Amino acid sequence: MTDHLTIALAQINPTVGAIRANLDRVRDARAGAAQRGADLVVFPELVSTGYPPEDLVLKPLVLDLVEQSVTALAAETADGGPAMLLGTPWRLAGQLYNAVLLLDMGRIAAIRLKSDLPNYGVFDEKRVFVAGPPPEPIPFRGMRLGVMICEDMWTPTATQTLAEGGAELLVVINGSPFEVDKAGVRVDLAGQRVAETGLPLLYVNQVGGQDELVFDGASFVVGADREKVAQAPAFCEYLLVTRWQRGANRHWLCLDSEQASPITDLAAIYQAMMVGLRDYVNKNRFPGILLGMSGGIDSALTAAVAVDALGADRVHAVLMPSPYTSSESTEDAIEASNLLGCKLDTLSIEPVMTAFGSVLAPVFAGTDADITEENIQSRLRGMLLMALSNKFGAMVLSTGNKSEMSVGYATLYGDMCGGYSVLKDVYKTTVFKLARWRNLNLPDGAEGPAGRVVPERVLTKPPTAELKHDQTDQDTLPPYDILDDILECLIEHEMGSAEIVARGHDSDIVNRVWHMLDRAEYKRRQAPPGVKITRRGFGKDRRYPITNRFLSVLA
Chain segment 438-447, per-residue pLDDT in tens: 999 999 999 9
pLDDT single digits (tens) 446-467 = 999 999 999 999 999 887 765 6
Determine the Cα–Cα distance for residues 337 and 418; give it in Å rounded to an integer.
20
Determine the Cα–Cα distance for residues 325 and 92; give it in Å rounded to an integer.
63
- Dihedral angle, C-alpha 63, 69, 75, 80, nearest 10 °: -120
Determine the Cα–Cα distance for residues 111 and 137; give it in Å rounded to an integer.
10
Q: How many residues does the chain have?
A: 555
pLDDT single digits (tens) 107-151 = 999 999 999 888 877 788 888 899 999 999 999 998 999 999 998
Out of 249-258, 332-341, 363-372, 520-529, least confident range: 249-258
| Residues 473 and 464: beta-carbon distance below 8 Å | yes
pLDDT single digits (tens) 254-289 = 987 789 988 889 999 999 999 999 999 999 999 999
| Residues 239 and 199: beta-carbon distance below 8 Å | no
- For residue 302, give the H/E element and its range: helix 297-310
Helical H segments across 369-427, by residue range:
371-392, 402-407
Give the 3-state secondary structure of 32-80. Answer: HHHHCCCCEEECCCCCCCCCCCHHHHHCHHHHHHHHHHHHHHHHHHHHC
Confidence of residue 555 (pLDDT cuts 50, 70, 90): very low
Is-cis flag, bond preceding 177, omega within 30?
A: no
Out of 168-182, 255-269, 306-320, least confident range: 255-269
pLDDT of residue 543: 78
pLDDT of residue 412: 87
Average pLDDT over residues 28-52: 97
Angle between helix axes 156-164 and 182-197 (nearest 10 degrees) is 30
Which residues pair with residue 111 across a beta bridge? 101
Sheet architecture: strand order including 289-292:
343-346, 315-319, 289-292, 395-398, 420-421
β pairing state of 238-246 and 252-254? antiparallel
Task: Choose among 253, 202, 208: nearest CA to 231.
Answer: 202
344: helix, coil or strand? strand
Enumerate long-range contacts of 23-30, CB under 8 Å, 24 or more apart.
23/48, 23/69, 23/70, 23/73, 26/73, 26/84, 26/86, 27/73, 27/76, 29/239, 30/81, 30/82, 30/84
| Residues 493 and 527: beta-carbon distance below 8 Å | no
Confidence of residue 2 (pLDDT cuts 50, 70, 90): confident
Find all residues with CB under 8 Å of 212, minimum gap 6, and list them.
122, 276, 424, 529, 530, 531, 532, 537, 539, 540
pLDDT of residue 552: 54
- Tell which CATH classification among 3.30.70.260, 3.40.50.150, 3.60.110.10, 3.50.50.60 matches the domain 4-262: 3.60.110.10
| Residues 229 and 23: beta-carbon distance below 8 Å | no
| Residues 514 and 490: beta-carbon distance below 8 Å | yes
Q: How far is CA 312 from CA 120, 179, 309, 384, in A?
A: 38, 28, 9, 21
* 512 pLDDT more than 60: yes
Determine the Cα–Cα distance for residues 244 and 224; give it in Å rounded to an integer.
12
pLDDT single digits (tens) 394-436 = 999 999 999 999 999 888 888 889 999 999 999 999 999 999 9
The share of the chain scoring above pLDDT 90, in percent, equals 79
Residues of the chain with CATH 3.40.50.620: 266-524
pLDDT of residue 125: 87
Average pLDDT over residues 96-110: 97
Determine the Cα–Cα distance for residues 499 and 519; give it in Å rounded to an integer.
21
Residues of the chain with CATH 3.60.110.10: 4-262
- Main-chain dihedrals φ then ψ at residue 7, nearest 5 degrees: -120, 130
- Main-chain dihedrals φ then ψ at residue 102, nearest 5 degrees: -90, 115
Amino acid in position 305? V
Taking the alpha carbons of 502, 506, 508, 513 in that order, is the dihedral positive or negative?
negative
- Where in the sequence numbering do the catalytic residues fall? 45, 114, 150
Of residues 452 and 468, the one with the higher pLDDT is: 452
pLDDT of residue 122: 78
Q: Give me the numbers of helices (H) and strands (E) for the chain, helices first please.
A: 16, 20
Helical H segments across 420-479, by residue range:
428-440, 456-460
Confidence of residue 471 (pLDDT cuts 50, 70, 90): low
CA-based angle 375:349:426, to the nearest 5?
50
Q: How far is CA 24 from CA 15, 69, 106, in A?
A: 12, 10, 17
Helix, strand, coil percentages (3-state) for the chain, rounded to 5, are: 40, 20, 40
What CATH superfamily classification does 266-524 receive? HUPs (3.40.50.620)
| Residues 138 and 150: beta-carbon distance below 8 Å | no
This prediction's pTM: 0.93
Taking the alpha carbons of 261, 215, 195, 9 in that order, is the dihedral positive or negative?
negative
Cβ-based burial of 111 (10 A; exposed 0-12, middle 13-18, buried ≥19): middle
CB count, 10 Å around CB of 139?
A: 13
